[in-house]
Chains A and B, each alone.
Chain A
Amino acid sequence: MIYVKARLPVQFYFLLVRDKRSGCDVAKDVAHFDIGYRQCLAPEGRPLDGLPEFARDAETLIGLYRAMVRTRTFDAKAVALQRTGRLGTFASSLGQEAVAVGVASAMRAEDVLLPSFREHGAQLWRGVSPLELFLYWGGDERGSDFAGPRQDFPVSVPVGSHAPHAAGVALAFKLRHERRAAVAILGDGATSKGDVAEALNIAGVWQLPALFVVTNNQWAISVPRRRQSAAETLAQKAIAAGIPGEQVDGNDVIAVHQAAAAALERARSGGGASLIEAVTYRLADHTTADDASRYRDDAEVSRHWPEEPLIRLRAYLAETGHWTKTDEEKLLAATAAEIDAATSAYLATKPQLPESMFDYTFERLPADLCDQRAQALAPAPVAEPITAR
């Protein structure tokens, strides 16, 4: 593991500049900060330094690799279903699997995940089923009634607006003296939002057991990272909130897992909140409704392909003798079979009954809404044949 503090030389100095006219123009350095960058595996799979303890266990790494492949298989199927008119608009996580899997694998079952809309890998790791994800993206609310992680939040479509919920969930843990943490995953665009600034500030001042993960995939639909913020890093958004912030290679699942595990352990043991900026790249369009070629050169995308997260872990596992071509073929066949079965189950799922639209609006249906429900359930009026008058 290499922890480079100098990769982005970010140093902040708050200066107390006194009135020059008085002759007392003495600058006093009252605080300064730096942002570190964490990376364990180079893009071609070469370990940069001694790997962290957990990464010496090949089975652990194979588990992470399987989860990323499973995510990518789900993702590809979802895009294919959308392209053939069988799924709604879908946000692909192609290329970002290491962030979702790295973070989720560092969580405990009793922690709570508050995802944005591109964290399929984290949701799958935590026990949301591919069928449930297909249902949600296929336009069925039952897809957010997870059988697995019952307390995890559904995806937040309005960007960054779920960050304060994470603070609220974390406050609940703190008030109940539970050793649990809330994890919100956000995008780079979300860091421009007031909700995120408010949540970070509160998580800092109350020392809440929360982790905010910024998946910096370089693009907020068509707006590149450099046009999102003048800050050198998004990790430094933590500094103003008074919480630890660090950058991590978001295509390096080992580094992401290590950073998240450390932040979560700190959170659960009363050390407060953290922010991790996971630097990755959105290899796909924003969603299936987007055409990134309108604003992004294909050459830029091509340059990022060699850095994607599956290549390096697979290369490392192969290099260390823990992964063969046969293993790879078996894994691809197994994940394809699982996702195909989920697809069949999804396509065979009948839509909800119309009354479901009403029945969860309030705890008990108010009289006023009963009338509307009855109208909705009434048989459609039979059209009178049009006859000449």
Chain B
Amino acid sequence: MAEITLIQAVTLALARAMEEDPRVLVLGEDVGADGGVFRATEGLLARFGAERVIDTPLAEAAIAGLSIGLAAQGFRPVAEIQFTGFIYPAIDQLVNHASRLRTRTRGRLTCPMVLRSPSGGGVHAPEHHSESPEAMFAHIPGLRVVIPSSPRRAYGLLLAAIRGADPVVFLEPTRLYRAFREEVADDGAGLPLDRCFVLREGKDMTLIAWGAMVREALAAAVALAREGVSAEVIDVATLKPLDAETIIASVGKTGRCIIAQEAPLTGGFAGEIAARLAERGLMTLLAPIERVAGYDTVMPLPRLEHLYLPNAARIAAAARRAMAYA
């Protein structure tokens, strides 16, 4: 079993899915000969040919729209949007068509498509290459939103997303593409698309995160352990539909909760999780819920992005406030 990076795990899952199902197509800008700007589709053109690995013209709305037409016709398109900064023209297609085709035709037409895109900051990328728009997608009924935070979860979640019958936005944390390696068995095993992953068990507090923030939360948990604080870490890899049960049960056990998100604070998905806890777990809380988030500012250019992005230190500081409270 090889140790691979998250981006390699994406490629592995794409190849596996294409191997096992001839209906699976990969399309997007530069996904062919170039193998994608991050190399997510490296080698797929040579292996599966230009009819299944399709370089599109530069048109994001049409990439999403084409995928809807293909999906309604029985294909399983996996489209790449080069960066989430360029995904916004495709949102019209997702909101008005992909997410509601099944319900508006009462199941006659369906839309089994995956829209993949690198997301988030921390790689000193140019303007419009570092945002975290997951909450926008999570607000769309009928759409699944998945964000892996490790090579193994990227592999299993992407396979499950491709095999499923629902439209999925699959946001890959750019910062984790090559951040670390992990053993990944190419066994074709998918992971559930409606379960949080409890990555570390603890009894004093629950740290909740997704995407690149999961690593920061894990690092914070290690630091807190040295101070005698036992932190549970939950990866909300499938934001939508949300597995609220796992979160509420965990906070019911620990009594404290810190939610970390890279996206701007207001209207972010951390707010949704905090609301669920307020509705169903309020009396189990020993301290106020804290959100550690990006600021309600435009994502700064690379020289200041380290000041914008939440990190382990900010998460640990919030955790200490919660411990001090009660």
Which residue numbers of A lie inside 8 Å of B, CB to CB?
112, 141-142, 144-146, 150-151, 153-154, 156-158, 161-173, 175, 182, 194-195, 198-199, 201-202, 205, 356, 360-363, 366-369
Query: Which range holds the interface residue count of chain B?
Result: 35 or more
A195 partner, pick from B65, B110, B244, beta carbons under 8 A: B65
User: Which residue of chain B has the shortest Cβ distance to A140 in the bound complex?
Assistant: B106
User: Are A144 and B65 in contact, with the CB atoms below 8 A?
Assistant: no
CA distance A166 to B68 in the complex (A): 9
B36-87: which have CB < 8 Å to A?
Answer: 51, 56-57, 59, 61-62, 64-75, 77
* Minimal beta-carbon separation of A98 from chain B (angstroms): 27
Q: Provided the pairs A201-B57, A201-B59, A369-B241 are in contact, do residues A168 and B108 lie with their beta carbons within 8 angstroms?
A: no
User: Are A144 and B241 in contact, with the CB atoms below 8 A?
Assistant: no
User: Are B244 and A167 in contact, with the CB atoms below 8 A?
Assistant: no
CA distance A329 to B254 in the complex (A): 80
* Minimal beta-carbon separation of B168 from chain A (angstroms): 11
* Minimal beta-carbon separation of A376 from chain B (angstroms): 14
User: Are A363 and B164 in contact, with the CB atoms below 8 A?
Assistant: yes
User: Which residue of chain A has the shortest Cβ distance to B98 in the bound complex?
Assistant: A165
CA distance A157 to B164 in the complex (A): 27
Is B194 located at the chain interface by the 8 A CB criterion?
yes
27 contacts between A and B (CB under 8 A): A151-B73, A161-B61, A162-B65, A162-B97, A163-B65, A164-B61, A164-B65, A164-B68, A167-B66, A168-B65, A168-B66, A168-B71, A175-B51, A194-B61, A195-B65, A195-B92, A198-B57, A198-B61, A360-B103, A362-B142, A363-B110, A363-B164, A363-B166, A367-B194, A367-B245, A368-B242, A369-B241
Chain A hits for B188, CB < 8 A: none
Is B274 located at the chain interface by the 8 A CB criterion?
no
Chain A hits for B65, CB < 8 A: 161-165, 167-168, 195, 198-199
Chain B hits for A171, CB < 8 A: 66, 69-70
* Minimal beta-carbon separation of B1 from chain A (angstroms): 32
User: Which residue of chain B has the shortest Cβ distance to A365 in the bound complex?
Assistant: B241
Chain A hits for B141, CB < 8 A: 361
User: Are A161 and B70 in contact, with the CB atoms below 8 A?
Assistant: no
User: Are B103 and A145 in contact, with the CB atoms below 8 A?
Assistant: no
Digit string of B157-195 for contact with A (CB within 8 Å is 1, else 0)? Answer: 000000011100000000000000000000000000010
Is B228 located at the chain interface by the 8 A CB criterion?
no
User: Are A360 and B102 in contact, with the CB atoms below 8 A?
Assistant: yes
Q: Provided the pairs A144-B105, A154-B105, A362-B142 are in contact, do residues A168 and B69 lie with their beta carbons within 8 angstroms?
A: yes
* Minimal beta-carbon separation of A303 from chain B (angstroms): 36
